[in-house]
Structures are given as structure tokens and as C-alpha cells.
Structure 1
């Protein structure tokens, strides 16, 4: 097993990785920006190194500073968490070239899945269902219009190099496509340095369902279970639950088989997620993208399987067998995760500020993965996620009841937060019935 681990991230995910590392007797090393010097993840690490100022480009994305920190502290491995450098193939390759262990998939797998068009084509060749769309980038707006005519409006205009719900827009007609194409291309060039655009069928009513996979050290790819991620604002997730209330045993078997094919197509190792769109009217599902890292919502999979996915990642990276029998996976109960963000609960606009009160809920089946505490400050430099409130119940109704109580018992004073939204959602008839889709938040607003 790896004996020392540098966590190249911040906030709740850094704290969560450090917790598992210390439980396993692994020396945990944090890197942090100047703005994060007093944050809980820094204080809880065995060692911490400042890698630059608040700007992420000069700290958490500063590959030279992070590698220098790994060398100066004698770190044996680097865990990137999610975001920042987690899906940077060049960084993954450089880590290994420097004789360190990369706790994640290979640089080649990251590259293969990082471009949505390339990923679509790879998945189609492997027999994974993909939505009708372009096989090559739409190099001009005229090419985009031609593709849209073949696919049929409405269409989704997507940045090929995008991710996390960024670089996406819906076009309902030719005029809309001309406008959105230029917007998406410009955004993609600025954000990702790649203006390639993909045109794909848009489903007005769709569910977002994903499957957690693990590429084991012995070469096998295992699909654990699916997660429902349809409660979203601006194409970004707010709530996840497992298992999905929309997935039957027969559909689940098809989802898991497709996810295994997706992983095998790129020789996948370590943790990853195969994201799909599910048409609730027909039961058809289509490959959306593969996230080549640990997901924000991984705790709900942990709870229904009784696993620690960070431990599994570290075991895979160390060349060791998993803690579970891949041929005898079981699930128990139902889990729900709520993303507690520093944002206005009505319009979801960021609301940073100093935390004066932070009281986390407790109780049977309640888990809080937090990045903040009283007397810390949510700054505008980073993502607005403050904590993840996760509950595990005997069934969906029990999990919802526990979530209601936990939301009521979570007290945050200082920055704006979206706890009032979750209180509203957990009383919403559409959500309670389980027959919801990605438009549920807009219908609530």
C-alpha cells in the first residue's frame, strides 16, 4: 500500500481523502493556497505546503508547484480529487514520469474520454448506445445547421472539450443554432482552449443517470450501481440518489453492462463514472460522457454498497485487490446526497462570506462531508460547494424522511446557502413520486 499521499485539491474532497488515508495509516500531505491556510483540510493533514496565491491557476492548477511539494515532502503518490487537475492528462503523465503514483486512470484514458466527440465515437464502436449526433466537430455554423437538419430540432450544442455541465446550450431552430453555436464556440475557446463543437439530439424530457465503475488492478472493469442525478440547475447537479427510482432490474442490467463495455474500451483503471441520458418515455439510454475521476456524488454509492471508494482507489493504485468480491456485490437501502452550496436558494447565484455559525446534523444514517467550519470564509475564488449532506435509509421514503430532518438540523450563518431550496424540494410532489426529470428545478422556480 502507498505509504504517503499528496492530495492535490482543497475543501471537502481533500478532507475526505485525508480521512481515509489516515485511517489506512498513510501519511496525508495537503497543498493549499494562501487563502486556504486555515481551512480544516490543511489543519487535519499530517503535513501541508502552500503552493501559491488564491488564484487557482497559481496554486491548485500550478503543476510545477504541486510536483515540487510532492518531492519536498517525500510523497509517494498524488490523488487529484475532482476538478482542478483531476482530468488533466498531461499532469497525470508528468506525475508518473517523475516516479510518483497517479491515483486515477491512465493519461491515455483521460485523453480518450476528454474529447466528447472522440468519446462518442469510441463508445459507439464498443457497442455502447450513443445519441444521434455529429461524428466530427462542426467546424462552421453551416456544418452545424446541416447536422441539425439531419438530427432534427431541438439540438444540444456542446463544447467537445467541456465538462461539468459547462459549454452547453439548446437550439430550437436555425436562428437559435446560429446564436448558440457562436456562444458555445467562443466559451469553449476561452475556457478549454479548444473551440470544437458537437451537435447532438436534445431530449426535452430526460433523466440523467450514471454508473460508478472501478477498473481493478487485475484488469477487470466492475460496474457498481447507478445514481440518479436529474435534480440540476444550469446543467449542474444539486441532488443525487442511489439507486435511481426510474431504473428497473432489467434496465439496470443494461446500464451496468454498457458501463463495463465503456471502461473496457479504453482499458480503464481506478474509479470513473459513465454518465448517460435516459428517455423515460421509451426506456432508451444514451452515453453522455465518462468522468475519469472520483465524482462529487460518490458517497451515495459507498453507502448502499458499504464501501470506501477512496480506499478502493488507493488499493488499485497500489496494485492490490479490492476489499470486496466483484462477483458478489450487494446493495442495501437507499441513499440521497444534497450539495450544500454558498448560493442564493432562489436564483442560485453565488453568495460567499464568513461562516459565523456551522452546526452539522447528526443521527442514524446521516453523514456530512464538509469543507468548512465556523470562523472559516467562503471566498469567491473557488466552487461554491461547502458540504455534502448524505443520508442512508432502509428505502427511499426513509431516506427522504432522514434528509428532511437533517436539512432542518443543519445551521449555517454567514454565507448564503441553499438549505431552504432542499427543504422545498423534499416536500415537492414530483420529487416525492420519483417520476421527475432534469427540468424539475426550473418547474419549481
Structure 2
């Protein structure tokens, strides 16, 4: 309160002075509170925007290596009704049938060609994922079966479906640099590891990146995957794919873990997409000879996984999970012996086999005439067409053995 205002008040008018002081303090507090609330609101808005960007990248990654995936036109609110719309630069999976799929990045002026026709990318932009796209130039096969599902019965135009690249679909369309794990095994591994956002996992044997992609997407946004690949070419291919696919929570290393352990080296490369979208942990925080109890799970796909068990035991936290994949039962036996030496518990081996069924139209005999009254003693057996399920005779995939174990207590 200013001096002139004080002079206007009577000396004994204490209540008026107190009232003026309280009013001034209230105004000051309100102004300060407004500033704090504004600052908190701005910070909250920035945090929410970052969460939206992170979630969007984990759900609908842009895989165009020639464009900035952080363009605001591509990173949109998940609450937007257009968040499922295909944009230029998005990767889509062209689904022809259960056995023929291909992934391509959508670019104006490009065309997807297959034996059923040509599909312009421009006709796909703006359509929602899951849309049926018709060919603009038909390439019908000379002999077409009646049950060919790639032909629409109404207008006889060839079509394909454009699907969102989920981890499952990515496993089916990725380029094979090695034998890969399919989702029969992958789902079992993720469930056994009890992965959730924030988990820290080590993988040795990156290969084609099938399991790496599923682990990365399962532990987003604040989890981390450290993956090791000893083959230099596969390491470089995997690193580029992880970056193009927006898998920012991966650190990949070119090294032999059987000889050198899970230690970072000059080739250790974190997938950094921006200052805000980058691995949460530095390799020095998790890996290294002086670290212990820093990871939640370790997966090995190696010729001699038992050589890594001492380092696996050291880096796993108590209650952490181990899994190894081997094509031969002798490898599983050696690994199990090494696990017992380090007091691992819940050691078990699983072979995951899958049989797929497809629906087909088949003719079956009916017995309805047996229940109809008739004077004739002989009747012709009638047939009808029904849609039944039958096993697919040939399936893509290979069998192998998964060995699981849990670190229960520290070895004395």
C-alpha cells in the first residue's frame, strides 16, 4: 500500500489498514498463482505432446527413410479421428492372401505391382488402414480358380488390402537375413518375460530383427533393449531398419558375447531419432563388468549359449527371466547344465508347434432324406456345399527348442 493511501486513513482505523493489506496480498498471491498455473499447464501440455508422439511412433511408425518422421503433419494426436489415415511416407502391408504379403513405403508416383494388377500409391493416400484397394490396371491370371478370393464377385476387379504394420505383420514381411522366430515362439517369450513398459532386456543374436521389433514395441515408451549381433553386415542392416521403423529404445552392438560378454565397444550404437526420442539408458548404466542386477530378461539365440550363463546370472536381477532358443536338443542340455550350476530355478524346455487352418468350400452328403416320409424304397443321396475348416498342408516356419529359467537368489 502506497504512502498517500496510508495518510488518507485514520490512525485508529486498523481494520481498514488490515483490509487493504489483505487485499494487496491476495492480489499478489493470485498473480503469482496464475503464473505458476500457466507454467504448469505449459509443462503438462509439453509432456502430453511428447507422450502422444511416443505412442504414435510405437503404434503407427513412419518408415520413410528420406523424410523427417517428426514432421508435425505426421505426428498427430491419437485422439484425432484421422490418426488411422494412411499418409505419404507411411509403411503399409499389402495383403493379397494369408501367404502373400509385401511391405512398401507409400510415395506419390509409385505403384505396387503384383500378378493380380497394379495399385497406385496415390489412390492409397488418405484411405484408412484396412481398406480394400482396387487395381487400376488388371493383370488377371490365365487360369483362375472359382474360389480365388482376390477377385471381387460384384465387379470382378482385382484388389488388395492395405494393413497397418504391426509387429506380427512385420515378422511376416521382413527380409530374411537369418532364420527368424515367428509369433508362436515370440508370444511365448514375451509372456514368460512378463514384459511391460519400462522393462530392460538383453538380446544376443539380433539376426533379422523379428524378435527385437516385438520386444521393443512391448517395452515402449520407457523400456530399453540392448541387442548384440556378431555378424557385421547383419548388424548394419538391423541398425538401419530399427531407425527407419522408429524403434528409438534400442541399442545395438556388433560383438561376440560368448568371448567378450555383454560389454559395449566402439560399434555400440543407440538408435537416436531426436533429442527427446532416444534410448533412456546409456550402455554404461546397464552393461559392463562392474554392473550386476540391472536387467529384467536375457534372450540368447547363439550356437553355444551356455558360455554366456555366468554373465547372464550377473546382469539379471533377482526374479529376472532367461530364455534361450536352440535348434538341437543337445544345445538345450548343455545350457540346462550351466543354468543348474548357477542355481537357476524353474528350468523348463518347450517346443512350440503351430497348425493353421483355412476355410474351404466342400461338398458333403446330406441325410435329410432319411427323415422324410416317402413311399419309394430307394432314394438318391443329395449333396450340399458347406464351408469347412481344414489344415493348411504347408506352413512357413521352423521348429526349435525354447529353454526358460528364473534367477531366484544370489549365488554364494
Tell me, yes or no, whether TM beats 0.5: no
| Largest Rg, 1 or 2 | 2
User: When the two structures are superposed, what TM-score results if normalisation uses the length of structure 2?
Assistant: 0.28
